[in-house]
Amino acid sequence: MTNRQNIRLRLLSYGVIAYMLLAFAWWSVLLYTKNRDAFEAKRDFLRIMLVAEGIVKNDTEFKTHTRYQELNQQYQRQEHMILGEAIVFVISLIIGVWLINRGYNKEMLATQQRRNFLLSITHELKSPIASVRLILETFQKRQLNQEQKEKMNRSALQETDRLNTLVNDLLLSAKLEMAYEPHREFLDLYELVAELISRMESKYPHIHFTLIADENIEPFYGDKLGLTSVTINLLENAAKYSTDSPEIIVRLKTAKNSIIWEVADNGIGIEDKEKKRIFEKFYRVGSEDTRKTKGTGLGLFIVDQIVKAHDGQIKILDNLPQGTIFTIKLPMVNKLTEARSQM
């Protein structure tokens, strides 16, 4: 659906709502008028009857008579009923319009996210496939020396690793929404993170990576594949949004029976209004038509879900003077004690 069609649909819906409000206002006024006319007719008829029977002699006696008081009370109750129904209808209509508008906005947002995902996943899939195809065609058509062969082999392996990571993210994101259970084992987080940082240094030689850790960090009882994905996605995210002289600092420390895990960068940062949404599946800041960074919008969704599966929490802070800090808090003692009791 195009933007022009969206605008036309919005205008049409607002026109229908305005018509309903005006129509209901008209019928409310008409009903109020008819009720008043009926009351006045009944009142005049009652006055004539009471005067003819000699029960009342003037308006003062008539207005204090029991039958008039009952008629007047009935009329007032009907007035209040009309007013109450009008208020309830207007409130219901306002709530209904708000719910419909909210649902419409969510649907449009989901449609936009799906569109962005399809555009990004198409690019992410085609790019490594095209690169590997080009390398294979080069091997087929040209005679290369050993150095050239090794260089092209490394390039092909990098592209297949990229494609493999993308497929794994897609499979993991589907699994996270259905039946993900962490396969827990004792892990040396420092060793795991250090190995992954070494891999990232080879991929991003222009970025300065630093790992800072407390001494004697206890083994963590967690899912190795899941926490590997968390580390890679956070480092990739920091690398993609880095600026000039990029620096990424990873900190591991213990505090109150928990492990605090920080990934800090000096990149472009994240606006406050985006911080609440970046963990949504397929959500990426900006439009896919103008965005320069690669990605599918799955990385931070996977991070958030795996951290929650480990009973942990993740927060986003500003890294002054520039950049972002992702802080993960993972509880240790309960799971560690449980695991040791089972050994």
Q: Count H helices, E strands: the chain?
A: 9, 7
DSSP track, 134-149? HHHHHHHHS---HHHH
Token pair belonging to 287: 């439009």
Lowest average pLDDT, out of 56-60, 111-115, 254-258, 287-291, goes to 287-291
Give the pLDDT of residue 6: 67
Which of 130, 135, 126 is closest to 156 using CA atoms? Answer: 135
What residues contact 317, with CB distance under 8 A and at least 6 apart? 324, 325, 327
Q: Decide: 162 and 128 in contact? Cβ < 8 Å.
A: yes
Check pLDDT > 80 for residue 278. yes
Check pLDDT > 50 for residue 335. no
SS3 10: helix
The 10s digit of each residue's pLDDT in 139-149 is 888 888 888 88
pLDDT band at 322 (very low <50, low <70, confident <90, very high): confident
**Most confidently modeled of 15-19, 47-51, 107-111, 195-199?**
195-199
Tally the C-alpha atoms within 13 A of residue 235's C-alpha that lie toward its C-beta.
27
Check pLDDT > 60 for residue 334. no
Give the pLDDT of residue 214: 86
Give the pLDDT of residue 280: 80
What residues contact 201, with CB distance under 8 A and at least 6 apart? 207, 209
Give the pLDDT of residue 288: 46
Higher pLDDT: 196 or 58? It is 196
Lowest average pLDDT, out of 4-8, 41-45, 293-297, goes to 293-297
- Rg of the chain, C-alpha, whole Å: 35
The 10s digit of each residue's pLDDT in 63-119 is 888 888 888 888 888 888 888 888 888 788 788 878 877 777 777 777 766 776 666
pLDDT band at 192 (very low <50, low <70, confident <90, very high): very high
Higher pLDDT: 299 or 7? It is 299
Q: What is the pTM of this model?
A: 0.58
